[in-house]
Structure 1
Amino acid sequence: MHTTEHDWITTPITADILRGALDLEHTAHGVLPHRLPAWARAQNTDGQLAMAEAQPSGVRLVFRTRATAVELDTLPTKRVYAGAPPRPDGVYDLLVDGRLAEQSAVTGGNTLAIDLATGSAESHPGPAGTLRFTDLPDGVKTVEIWLPHNETTELVTLRTDAPIEPVPDQGRKVWLHHGSSISHGSDAASPTAIWPALAASLGGVELINLGLGGSALLDPFTARAMRDTPADLISIKIGINVVNADLMRLRAFTPAVHGFLDTIREGHPTTPLLVVSPILCPIHEDTPGPAAFDVSALSAGKLRFQATGDPAERAAGKLTLRVIREELSRIVKQRAADDPHLHYLDGLDLYGEADAEELPLPDELHPDAATHRRIGERFGALAFAADGPFADHSA
């Protein structure tokens, strides 16, 4: 499976060289990073969340070494959607001393065949593959391998041609973020190009990304996981999944938000906590969920979403993005009277009407690579500004 021109050193993949994961599951092949702890996963019955939290968005191997060659055997799980165009292989980003040096992918792996029309999924086993980076610069350096943000990745074996060691704590602040598929990185170009990774780089902070595709649903176990995770800065981006899942009405939403914030505050009573409302999504601004796949687009080989709710149902408490922005703003203003470290950021300041005209959402729901960059830069500029909610808390 690997080349022979190097004298390889195999290093166990353990938590001290892995960042961004809350748990490491030992499997028959190696280790599987998880972004929710085992006890939280045990309380979940939703297949979408189970898939999302096992996709290693923001998870990276980090170590110091003189090695000029690195190999990583992984067992990815590729998703194949019936009737939709093939998905590209997940991208691995190699950073050397904080700079992107190379990108690669791993072929093979397991396959998860998903039928969007019926919601059924079928797993097919496949072989592990090898990621290979050579000709790294001489000398001691920090190497980071960011795992594909949208592809479940079991880590099998790490080989280098020189010893490695964990990177000592450099005093950088830890930013813990929770959000939807947009925070997860859906349709971003690579794992370091998802908007939270871009913003973390601009802010000089270490990212723990709990962006969970389709699953930012105010789940109490997610709040407890955040409560129990050490962090210097915290943000939650809430709204789009609650609408497009048609999960709850306003009567349930308001106390659920309060409960989520209360739980986080149990473990982080004075940590800067930023509540971010949804970015613009025209199909759901005034039309409730549920969201559904556009069958006519799917038959033409395109993935597109549509809102299927009735705008008239807003009067009965059905949620839209406009309703959620107003309510989140009201909740934060109310709570901030007793919580000076609680802040609100309007998602329209990250991506609004003018942005949608210039950079429309290709599938009506998810931003493309250019839009991820814009959102990341905007968040970085707003959150880490001298008068921003995360001011004086970055390294």
Structure 2
Amino acid sequence: MDTKHHWIATPVTEDFLRGALALERTERGVLPHRLPAWARAQCPDWQLAMAESQPSGVRLVFRTRATAVELDTLPTKRVYVGVPPRPDGVYDLLVDGHLTGQAGVTGGNTLVIDMTTGTAEHQPGPVGTLRFTGLPDRVKDVEVWLPHNETTELVELRTNAPVEPTPAGGRRVWLHHGSSISHGSNAASPTHTWPALAGALGGVELINLGLGGSALLDPFTARTLRDTPADLISVKLGINLVNADLMRLRAFTPAVHGFLDTIREGHPATPLLVVSPLLCPIHEDTPGPSAPDLGSLSAGELTFRAAGDPAERAAGKLTLSLIRDELARVVKQRAADDPNLHYLDGRDLYGEADFAELPLPDQLHPDAAAHRRIGERFAALAFAPGGPFTTASA
């Protein structure tokens, strides 16, 4: 420990966290979750468990004169068999809303994922320490955004001056649900996922329920959205249903209606934006499932291919083109009685020209530059005057 500082330890409680829907007490500290315990209990899928415990959009927020901050954490890092190790997750430090530092934490647990078998093995590791120094010596609002792609158990927060919860700023709360792209796959850091970028541009408080591989129209997710206070809601639907080859058109349409019905039980007049999939050429007209490209794995890379048969579209197998058409139809039908329901074609965020300039590195997920473009476009379309999120909520 840095002996130049007289450290004050502060327990991490709900008062200091934003973007999390639950806080699990552990042997070492606390673990933020983005789904409540009752929802997690309804689905034992390891992919969902990993995704919802990765704290995309979750941040520690406090007011302090401290010039130094330490945070002991136990991260869980992903390793894919046959692929070079991923870089450590990034913690973003914001002071009075401005990004002023970035750092990572070494050590931690490891989740070894075998994409060829769909299995994962957990290997325990040590706690690590995050440290930021040289903060301005004045009262300020500090935010530490946790890595969007690492499950992060919070062990101890230390500062060299007292901290207190930052008072609520009165900003509107934007609740967003989507797939791994909304979760932040390939984003440069937690404040540079496209929802975080869009939320900052829109001047809102983000709750990000982007769940990698798990935007599957699950009823427990709809009930979570229903029960979470929010001024603005968006749901980005489609790509994971194709990835997983989870349902046919016959099931998809009533499932979308049911998902929206449930949200409306808790938010009858809140602006609700349905976003269809971004452009993804491998699945535009070819059904799922998505599968790892074994040729790329042998070369030490992880890319994906469409493993479905286009001929099966006649039997109701889902493609992105079909999903966009059906989502647009469903929203138009419902909007006749629901003026606060809106539709956005995902290709307006990332389309053919964008793919030509900023191709998907693994054929599924945008890179960091594309995340920025998507976030800026979403903000311009949703938050700008006349956009769906300028509608007054009831």
Normalised TM-score (structure 2): 0.99
Q: Deviations over 1:212-254 (max 9, x none)?
A: 0000000000000010000000000000000110000000000
Check if 1:372 corresponds to 2:371.
Answer: yes
Secondary structure at 1:390 match in 2: helix
**Counterpart Cα distance in 2 of 1:107 and 1:39:** 32
Q: What is the match of residue 264 of structure 1? A: 263
**Counterpart Cα distance in 1 of 2:253 and 2:123:** 42
Q: What is the match of residue 73 of structure 2? A: 74
Q: Is the 8 A contact 1:286 1:321 kept in 2?
A: yes
Secondary structure at 1:208 match in 2: strand
**Counterpart Cα distance in 1 of 2:32 and 2:192:** 20
Identity of aligned residues (%): 80
How far the C-alpha of 1:122 sits from its partner, in A, is 1.5
Secondary structure at 2:39 match in 1: helix
How far the C-alpha of 1:138 sits from its partner, in A, is 1.1
Q: Is the 8 A contact 2:57 2:206 kept in 1?
A: yes
Q: What is the match of residue 34 of structure 1? A: 33
Which amino acid letter does the alignment assign opposite residue 311 of structure 2? A
What are the within-5 Å matches in structure 2 for residues 214-225 of structure 1?
214-225=213-224
How far the C-alpha of 1:29 sits from its partner, in A, is 1.1
How far the C-alpha of 1:392 sits from its partner, in A, is 5.5
What are the within-5 Å matches in structure 2 for residues 221-236 of structure 1?
221-236=220-235
What are the within-5 Å matches in structure 2 for residues 206-221 of structure 1?
206-221=205-220
What are the within-5 Å matches in structure 2 for residues 377-392 of structure 1?
377-391=376-390
Secondary structure at 1:330 match in 2: helix
Q: Is the 8 A contact 1:277 1:346 kept in 2?
A: yes
Q: What is the match of residue 244 of structure 1? A: 243
Secondary structure at 2:215 match in 1: coil
Secondary structure at 2:388 match in 1: coil
**Counterpart Cα distance in 1 of 2:272 and 2:118:** 36
Check if 1:161 corresponds to 2:135.
Answer: no
Q: What is the match of residue 12 of structure 2? A: 13
**Counterpart Cα distance in 2 of 1:273 and 1:58:** 20
How far the C-alpha of 1:121 sits from its partner, in A, is 1.7
What are the within-5 Å matches in structure 2 for residues 160-309 of structure 1?
160-309=159-308
**Counterpart Cα distance in 2 of 1:46 and 1:195:** 26
Find runs of 4+ consecutive structure 1 residues off by over 3 angstroms.
none
Q: Deviations over 1:266-297 (max 9, x none)?
A: 00000000000000000000000000000011
**Counterpart Cα distance in 2 of 1:219 and 1:73:** 34
Which amino acid letter does the alignment assign opposite residue 362 of structure 1? P
Q: Is the 8 A contact 2:48 2:213 kept in 1?
A: yes
Secondary structure at 1:87 match in 2: coil
How far the C-alpha of 1:119 sits from its partner, in A, is 2.0
Q: Is the 8 A contact 1:386 1:392 kept in 2?
A: no
How far the C-alpha of 1:169 sits from its partner, in A, is 1.4
What's the Cα RMSD here?
A: 0.9
Which amino acid letter does the alignment assign opposite residue 21 of structure 2? L
Secondary structure at 1:340 match in 2: coil
Q: Is the 8 A contact 2:292 2:302 kept in 1?
A: yes
Q: Deviations over 1:341-391 (max 9, x none)?
A: 000000010000110000000000000000000000000000011010001
**Counterpart Cα distance in 2 of 1:112 and 1:226:** 28
**Counterpart Cα distance in 1 of 2:122 and 2:316:** 39
Secondary structure at 1:123 match in 2: strand
What are the within-5 Å matches in structure 2 for residues 331-342 of structure 1?
331-342=330-341
Which amino acid letter does the alignment assign opposite residue 67 of structure 2? T
Structure 2 residues not aligned, in runs of 5+: none
Which stretch of structure 1 is more off in the superposition, 114-123 or 346-355?
Answer: 114-123
How far the C-alpha of 1:3 sits from its partner, in A, is 1.9
What are the within-5 Å matches in structure 2 for residues 29-108 of structure 1?
29-108=28-107
Which amino acid letter does the alignment assign opposite residue 359 of structure 1? L
**Counterpart Cα distance in 1 of 2:392 and 2:62:** 25
Change (3 A) 1:393 1:195: farther
Q: Deviations over 1:135-154 (max 9, x none)?
A: 10011100000000000000
Secondary structure at 1:107 match in 2: coil
How far the C-alpha of 1:120 sits from its partner, in A, is 2.2
The count of corresponding residues between Structure 1 and Structure 2 is 393
Q: Is the 8 A contact 2:340 2:391 kept in 1?
A: no
